Amino acid sequence: MMLHRPPPVADAGAGASFEAFVRAQGPLLHRTAWVLTRHEQDAQDLVQAALTKTWGAWDRIDEPVAYARRVVAHEFLTARRRRWAGEVPAAQVKPVERAVGGPERWDERLTLAAAVARLPRVQRAVVVLRFLDDLSVRQTAQALQISEGTVKSHTSRALAALRVDPHLHAVEHDEEDRP
Amino acid sequence: MTRHSESDLRAGLARLADDAPRFDADAAARAAVEGARPPRRWARPLAAACAAVLLVGGVGVAASVWPRPPEASTPAGREAGLTGRVWRLASSVRGGIPPTRVQGPAPTFSIVGDTLRLETGGGRRQVPVRVEAGRVRPELPPGPCSTAAAAACQSPDPVADFFAAAPAFTLRDGWVELSAAGRRLAFVDTGPVPPPKPATSAAGHRWVLTGAPQGVPAVIEGTRPASIAYDGADLLLDTGLNLYRFGARSSGESLEAGEGTTRALTQHGCGGRGLAPRECRAVVDRDEALQRMLFANVVGQRLEGGRWTLQDGWVFTDAGPVGAVAMPSPSAPAIDPALPVLLPTGAPPVASPGGRRSRYVGTVDVPAGGGRWTVPLHPRGVVQAVLVCPGGRRGGQRVAQASVADGERALSCGAQVALGFSAGGGADTLAVRARTAGARLAVFQDLEFDPGPAPAGPPAGWKPPWAHPEAGLPESGVARPSPGSAPAPVRLTVPAGGRVAVAQGGPSTLAFVVGGRLLDAGPVMSSLAPSRGGVADSTLWQSPPMVSGWNVRAFTPAGAEVPAGTPVEVTVVPSGDSAPAWAVGAAPAG
Q: Residue B129: beta bridge partners?
A: B138
Contact between residue B303 and residue B236 where contact means Cβ atoms under 8 Å apart: no
pLDDT tens over chain B, length 590 residues: 444 477 888 888 888 887 777 777 887 777 677 654 433 322 222 222 222 233 333 333 333 333 344 444 555 544 544 443 333 343 322 333 333 334 433 344 444 444 444 444 344 444 444 433 323 333 333 322 222 222 223 332 222 222 222 333 333 333 333 443 333 344 444 433 333 332 222 334 444 444 444 434 444 544 344 455 555 455 555 554 455 555 543 323 332 222 222 222 222 222 222 222 222 222 222 221 111 222 223 232 222 222 222 222 222 222 222 222 221 222 222 222 233 333 222 222 222 223 334 444 556 667 777 777 666 554 444 455 666 655 443 334 455 566 554 445 556 555 555 554 444 445 556 667 766 666 666 665 544 433 334 446 777 778 888 787 776 677 667 788 877 777 777 877 777 777 777 888 887 777 666 654 444 433 222 222 223 335 566 666 777 777 776 677 666 555 566 777 777 777 776 766 678 888 888 876 65
**Selected residue of A11, A76, A88, A175 to mutate for chain B interface (largest B Cβ count, 10 A):** A88
Residue A9 at interface with chain B, using a CB cutoff of 8 Å = no
Between B73 and A137, residue with greater pLDDT = A137
Residues in Cβ contact with A149 at an 8 Å cutoff, skipping those fewer than 6 apart: none
Give me the pLDDT at residue B419, please.
52
User: Residue-wise over B92-125: b if at least 16 C-beta within 10 A, else e?
Assistant: bbbbbbebbbbbbbbbbbbbeeeebbbbbebeeb
ipTM: 0.81
H-only helix segments in A2-132: 12-37, 40-56, 64-78, 103-117, 121-127
Give me the pLDDT at residue B386, please.
61
Give me the pLDDT at residue B403, please.
56
The per-residue pLDDT for range A18-66, each reduced to its tens digit, is: 888 988 898 999 999 989 987 766 777 788 778 878 887 888 888 899 9
Within 8 A of A99 by CB-CB distance, chain B residues are: 19
Within 8 A of A98 by CB-CB distance, chain B residues are: 19
* Nearest Cα residue to B446 out of B309, B303, B314, B579: B314
Give me the pLDDT at residue B23, please.
78
How many whole angstroms separate alpha carbon B533 and alpha carbon A81? Answer: 45
Please compute, for residue B582, the number of CA atoms within 13 A of its CA located in the half-sphere on the CB side: 30
Q: How many CB atoms lie within 10 A of CB A90?
A: 18
Contact between residue B399 and residue B411 where contact means Cβ atoms under 8 Å apart: yes
Q: Which helix (H) or strand (E) holds B151?
A: helix B150-153
Give me the pLDDT at residue A70, please.
92
Q: Answer left, alpha or beta for residue B308, where phi above 0 means left and psi between -120 and 50 means alpha.
A: beta
Give me the pLDDT at residue B236, please.
57
* Shortest distance, CA B98 to any CA of chain A (angstroms): 16
Give me the pLDDT at residue B99, please.
35
Backbone φ, ψ for residue B517 (5° rounding): -125, 160
Q: Which helix (H) or strand (E) holds B238?
A: strand B234-238
Longest CA–CA span in chain A (Å) reads 71
Number of H helices, E strands in chain B: 7, 37
Backbone φ, ψ for residue B417 (5° rounding): -135, 140
**Selected residue of B4, B8, B9, B42 to mutate for chain A interface (largest A Cβ count, 10 A):** B9
Backbone φ, ψ for residue B85 (5° rounding): -135, 165
Answer yes or no: do B1 and A171 touch at CB < 8 A.
yes
Within 8 A of A18 by CB-CB distance, chain B residues are: 29, 32-33
Residue A159 at interface with chain B, using a CB cutoff of 8 Å = yes
Residue A79 at interface with chain B, using a CB cutoff of 8 Å = no
Q: What is the DSSP string of B273-294?
A: TTB------B-----TT--EEE
Averaged confidence pLDDT in chain A = 72
Between A140 and B556, residue with greater pLDDT = A140
Q: Residue B171: beta bridge partners?
A: B176
AA identity, residue B78: R
Sheet holding B168-171, edge to edge: A88-90, B219-222, B205-210, B183-192, B176-180, B168-171
Contact between residue B551 and residue B398 where contact means Cβ atoms under 8 Å apart: no
